[in-house]
Amino acid sequence: MKKLFALLSLLVLASMLLAACGSPAPVATEAPAATEAAVTEPVTMDFVVWSYGIETITDNIKNFQELNPNITINLKDYSWLDYHDTMVGAFAANNSPYLLYGSDHWLNEWAAAGWLVPLDKYCPNVKEYSKEVAPYALQGMTYNGEVYGVSYYADTMDFVYNDTLLQKAGFTTAPATLDDVYTQAKELKAKGVNEYPIIMAWSQKEGAFPEAWTSLVFAQQEGGNALFDAELNPVFNKEGSAAFDVMEWLRKVYTEGLLDPASLSMAEIDQVKSMQAGAHTFTIVPQYNMAELNKPGSGDFAGNFKIALMPGSSQSTVGYVRFYAMTQKVVDAGPDYIAAACKFMDYFGGKTNGDYTVVKRWAVENGLGFAQLPLFDDAGVIEAFGKWGDVPTIKQQATLARAKEGLAPWYGSWDVFARSEIHKGILGEQSSLDTLNNMADQWNELKAAQ
């Protein structure tokens, strides 16, 4: 008994020690005045990104630091596929960075938890930038009426086809509806152009999977509320809905061997390579892939990949936004850190000397889309985009784009569930209606739990 008491005492002591070693409680800091403050003391902040264009980011940081010698930025990067989970781990362990990349589909989750802080509350220039941002992108960066980011890039999910292969099958125009896609895919298969004319990157781990599926749904519906009504109630789980039609179509193209079965384990990078090899004619990809698809020397079909408006009656699609965000840690660190973070936001997602310098660089050098509307009229951007795409079509698709519906704090959890349900529907393990009913039930359950 004595031994047990001694052991328990040790346990309690150890717990107290651990608790004492924990981080101090956050100190509330008042929002700054309406004009941006100067950085009076040297400030060092870490900036976490997903692993893309690291050399460009490093160079941008170097340029930023030259302009702001008082500010030092330390860059860390994680794989896109692990990014969300890694950041959640960091936030939960009270080890968040100062600055980081965010995405529209995580914003509600992260903002509701208090991990991110609204930029427009602390950085006065953000309000001005927001006026020039495409509505779908602004919506994707807004939570509870406050703006939490400045756009790193914004893009649309685009329907892409290989024009050479399509012409080989005898078609001179791109498909405008899902029926057209089906008819043309059948012909492509019948003529032996492709074994599987359609490919998707719909591995359960692939982040762009729900966005591509939602794009198909949006394209079949005139107006909003394709998935949820204004009170966030599911409206998609009924026969004849846009989502139902999409599920039926997917099942049809899968069973008839038009959709590559490998789509269910495919990641985006493999999807692009597969398209470049000419193994497929149709796909849906985030638009930035067009620069890679049509890159000279990237394959026999470079220069022949074209964007068609998303097949469907409305030709709408998903527009999404990835953005620069700051965490509560900046606010807790005090006014100098807030001022430094605002300067960072100005440089990376806003204007330097009146120009969107960094955003334009990403667009011109990497083909990343953007939410800052004035850039559509920028001669440099038009010239760069014209090398791999048809600028009027890109602009038209961007105009038709809508933000994802149902961006609630539980969207991330539902998204994970929905992926496997869509798989089951495509594989025929359950009917389209059962698939949609299961998705709706899970949504309602998650909503009720909040």
Question: Which residues form the interface with another protein (CB under 8 A)?
Answer: 10-11, 14-15, 18, 84-85, 88-89, 91-92, 109-110, 112-114, 195, 203-205, 260-266, 270, 273-274, 277, 279, 409, 412-413, 416-417, 419-420, 423-424, 427, 429, 438, 442
Beta strands 150-162 and 146-147 are unpaired
Cα atoms in the 13 Å half-sphere on the side-chain side of 244: 13
- Determine the Cα angle at 314 with ends 309 and 317, to 5°: 55
Q: How far is CA 11 from CA 21, 22, 33, 196, 356, in A?
A: 15, 17, 48, 62, 56
User: How would you write 147-205 as a 3-class SS string?
Assistant: ECCEEEEEEEEEEEEEHHHHHHCCCCCCCCCHHHHHHHHHHHHHCCCCCCCEECCCCCC
Question: Smaller CB distance to another protein: residue 229 or 429?
Answer: 429
Q: How far is CA 17 from CA 21, 90, 436, in A?
A: 6, 22, 50
The nearest distance, CB 403 to another protein, in angstroms, is: 20
**AA letter at 183:** T
The nearest distance, CB 16 to another protein, in angstroms, is: 11
The nearest distance, CB 153 to another protein, in angstroms, is: 25
The nearest distance, CB 354 to another protein, in angstroms, is: 39
Please say whether the beta carbons of 321 and 151 come within 8 A: yes
Please say whether the beta carbons of 316 and 310 come within 8 A: yes
Question: Smaller CB distance to another protein: residue 376 or 417?
Answer: 417
Please say whether the beta carbons of 196 and 260 come within 8 A: yes
Residue at token pair 């020690």: 17
Residue at token pair 């179509």: 249
Rounded CA Rg of the chain: 24
The nearest distance, CB 437 to another protein, in angstroms, is: 12
Question: Smaller CB distance to another protein: residue 84 or 343?
Answer: 84
325 strand-pairing partners: 100
The nearest distance, CB 193 to another protein, in angstroms, is: 15
- Per DSSP, the residues of 49-66 read EESSSHHHHHHHHHHHHH
Backbone angles phi, psi at 70, to 5 degrees: -80, -10
Question: Smaller CB distance to another protein: residue 12 or 38?
Answer: 12
Question: Smaller CB distance to another protein: residue 109 or 292?
Answer: 109
Backbone angles phi, psi at 170, to 5 degrees: 95, 15
- Under 8 Å CB-to-CB from 248, ≥6 apart: which residues? 432
The nearest distance, CB 390 to another protein, in angstroms, is: 28
Q: Compute how many other C-beta atoms are within 10 angstroms of the C-beta atom of residue 374.
A: 13
The nearest distance, CB 206 to another protein, in angstroms, is: 8
The nearest distance, CB 92 to another protein, in angstroms, is: 5
The nearest distance, CB 423 to another protein, in angstroms, is: 4
The nearest distance, CB 446 to another protein, in angstroms, is: 8
Can you tell me the distance from the alpha carbon of 393 to that of 400, in angstroms, rounded to the nearest whole number? 10
Question: Smaller CB distance to another protein: residue 67 or 113?
Answer: 113
Question: Smaller CB distance to another protein: residue 89 or 334?
Answer: 89
Nearest-10 Cα torsion for 367, 128, 105, 389: -20
Q: Compute how many other C-beta atoms are within 10 angstroms of the C-beta atom of residue 295.
A: 15
